Structure formats: C-alpha cells, structure tokens
Amino acid sequence: MEKRIVLSTPTMHTEEIGYINEAFERNWIAPLGFNCDGFENEMNEYLNATVSAFSFHTLALCSGTAALHLAVKLAGVKRGDIVLCSDMTFAATVNPIVYEGGIPVFIDSETDSWNMDPTALEAAFKKYPEAKVVMLAHLYGTPAKLDEIVEVCKKHNAVLIEDAAEALSATYKGKRCGTFGKYGAISFNGNKIITTSGGGMLICDNTSDRDRAFYFATQARQPAPWYQHEDIGYNYRMSNVVAGIGRGQLLHLEEHRGRKTKIYERYQKSFADLPLIMNPYPECTVPNFWLSCILINEDSGIDPMYIMEKLSKSNVEARPIWKPMHMQPVFAENDFVKACENAVNEGIFARGLCLPSDIKMTEEEQDYVIDIVRSCFEK
C-alpha cells in the first residue's frame, strides 16, 4: 500500500472549524471562555444522560494526565501512601500517583476484559489494608468489571479513580465509563476516539470537588485583590481554541464509536477460523472499540512480533499491547499482586497485538490488513 494504514489518528469534520472561527472572531483565544464552558456543559449532558440524576461535573484541562493528577490530589494521596493501580495500561495512568509521592502497587488483570482483576484487588487489600485509593484503567475502550471493583472499594472504604482516557462513550450495564468512581478522567489526545489535538477532562461526582480542581488547575489563586497563594497550583486549563475542536468532535462521538465497532466486528468475522481471539469484553458492557487487538493462542507458535514486522513491511502500523507496569524498569521496586500463579498480563503482553483501528480506514484497506495477518498463519 502506498498510503500507510495507521492505528488511530484524528478524524475531523466541519463543525470544529466553526467553533474555532468564532473564538478568533471574538478574539477569545486565551484560556477559558465560551468554548470551554460549552464543551464542559455538552460533556456534562452526555455523561449524565445515562444516570438517573444529574450528578457529574466536568472540568476541561490541557491533558488527560492533568485530569488524573488532579484526581489523585483530590483523592488525598500523600507522600508514602499506597495506591492500588491497574498494571496493564499506559504509564500516564500511574505517573500522577508518583507526582504526589504515592506508591503504586500494581494489580493483575482478568481474562474477560483484560482489566483489573477484582480478586487480585481484594488480595491486594489483604496485603495493604491501609490503601485508600484505587486507580482503575479501562483498557482499549473496554469497561472493567465495575460492579465487582466498586464493591471491593466500598468494602475497604477506598476512593475509586477511573482512568477512562481510552473509554469515552463505552458503557457498563448502560452507564458510561468515568461515572462509576468518585473521579474520572478522559483524554482528547490525538489518537483517542475524539480529539482536541491535546486535552482532557476531569469528571467529579460533586460540585465542590470540581471547584477545588478548578482552583488547583488555575495556579491556586486565593480570592484577594493581589495574587495570594496558600497552595502549590498548576496551569492545567484547556484553551478556548482547543475546546472548540472538542465541541465539534463531541457531535460525532457516537458515529466514531459506530465505525470503530464495525472495524472490530469485521476483524472478528475474518479471523474466526484462526487460533486467536479478539480483545474480549463482558456481556454487560458495550466497549467503544477504540483499538481492535488480537491474542494469539499459546500453542499456535506464532509470535505477534512476526505479524507486526510483516505488517510494517507492507506499510501497516501495528503495536504490541501496553507493556505491563510491573515489567517496566522505572517501577522495578513496586509490588505486583496477582490472583493466580502465572500473571495474566504477562501472557497478554507476550501474545497480543493492536491492529489498525483508524475510522478513516476503508473496507479495502482493512481487507489488505486482514490478508497479511491471515498469511502469517498459513503453514
């Protein structure tokens, strides 16, 4: 293929530029303003549509990582505190814990959703009864086993933070990811299901936490005629121009999800006879299918890196599964808790692969990818 087939890149429509133009015409370029307010309000409505009472409040920020950092801060993580954290995820899930001096303890995944295993989480609370915060990532847009995890958190009186950076619009029993924890974070980074080029949002389940997050995100300025500071603050707000992109993108979120779903289903159908499974999801969930992944059967003898190289030679981008945090040199000293003898995550990492899931990919291009993957299994 002359054109490179990619994992996931921005897909723009026409409304985005309209909101940006409005910001330029009104000379409202600087942080905050009508697009930020509009984006937050529209996202509030979107998230609250699946809950019985309007109870979630968003704060638009410069990145998903900033949202996670403020969540960790608001959850009260202090130097030396243990935080029980998803193991198979992007480093941005974990780093904010360390920014606040917390000590991440990594929790293995289960095989039904590739997310945090509630049984391993319970085991971690036995080992670390003092833990008060849980950081849960929803991998590749597939919701974790939320009922079980919420119950374990309640039992141990722990605050749940949801890293829903990859999972915007995914639902668990009809309710959207990011609205199960006390705090949720979403990302609008360039490769996510909708993007603002870069950006994120914090979701709080009450207004006073949202106010507190706003305070930290705007340099912790006290109400006084001069600049008065009692805390260390951050410059974390989203710009009014960038928020305009987000407003336009949000109009197309469900459409993006629909196209991602079709891509996943097409791979699934085409690979039905191969010794592999697609990234699995529990029946009570509707993922957003941000990335389609495969997990190759152990006895097939096929190495995912072999498939990745073959794809790469044909100008197709593929990527290994997130390397588990407990295998990362930077976290070599951190504990890892699993529920069974062999770590589930090590198996998924060794035998998994992310396939092109860009919603601009044509059926013809996807067939091209499918043919290459299939050819790797031919004897």
Span near ligand PLP by CB under 6 A; candidates 15-23, 86-94, 239-247, 346-354:
86-94
Give dist(CA 158, CA 154) in Å, integer: 6
| Binding-site size, ligand PLP (CB under 6 A) | 14
**Residue 115 interacts with ligand PLP (CB under 6 A): yes or no:** no
Q: Which is nearer to ligand PLP, 276 or 325 (CB)?
A: 325
Span near ligand PLP by CB under 6 A; candidates 23-31, 145-153, 163-171, 273-281:
163-171
Q: Name the residue with tokens 């921005």.
A: 10
Given 166, 209, 317, 358, the residue binding ligand PLP (CB under 6 A): 166
Given 187, 195, 292, 345, the residue binding ligand PLP (CB under 6 A): 187
Residues of this chain, 193-252, that bind ligand PLP according to CB under 6 A: 200
Least separation in angstroms between CB 68 and ligand PLP? 6
Given 58, 63, 109, 366, the residue binding ligand PLP (CB under 6 A): 63
Least separation in angstroms between CB 130 and ligand PLP? 26
Backbone angles phi, psi at 161, to 5 degrees: -110, 130
Least separation in angstroms between CB 365 and ligand PLP? 24
Residues 6 or more apart whose CB falls under 8 angstroms from that of 231 comprise 215, 216, 220
Instruction: Kindly state the greatest CA–CA separation across the chain.
Output: 76
**Residue 137 interacts with ligand PLP (CB under 6 A): yes or no:** yes
Give dist(CA 302, CA 286) in Å, integer: 30
Given 8, 58, 93, 357, the residue binding ligand PLP (CB under 6 A): 93
**Residue 65 interacts with ligand PLP (CB under 6 A): yes or no:** yes
Span near ligand PLP by CB under 6 A; candidates 5-13, 49-57, 61-69, 276-284:
61-69
Let me know the angle formed at the C-alpha of 132 by 54 and 155, rounded to the nearest 5 degrees.
75
Least separation in angstroms between CB 119 and ligand PLP? 22
Give dist(CA 345, CA 116) in Å, integer: 10
**Residue 162 interacts with ligand PLP (CB under 6 A): yes or no:** no
The alpha carbon dihedral of 78, 83, 87, 90 has a sign of negative
Q: Which is nearer to ligand PLP, 197 or 375 (CB)?
A: 197
Give dist(CA 211, CA 199) in Å, integer: 19
Give dist(CA 31, CA 20) in Å, integer: 13
Given 19, 39, 56, 90, the residue binding ligand PLP (CB under 6 A): 90
Q: Which is nearer to ligand PLP, 63 or 288 (CB)?
A: 63
Span near ligand PLP by CB under 6 A; candidates 159-167, 203-211, 233-241, 353-361:
159-167
Q: Which is nearer to ligand PLP, 156 or 260 (CB)?
A: 260
- Spell out, one character per residue from 311 to 350, where the chain touches ligand PLP: x when CB under 6 A holds, - when not: ----------------------------------------
**Residue 169 interacts with ligand PLP (CB under 6 A): yes or no:** no
Q: Which spans of this chain sit near ligand PLP (rule: CB under 6 A)?
A: 63-65, 89-90, 92-93, 137, 163, 165-166, 187, 189, 200
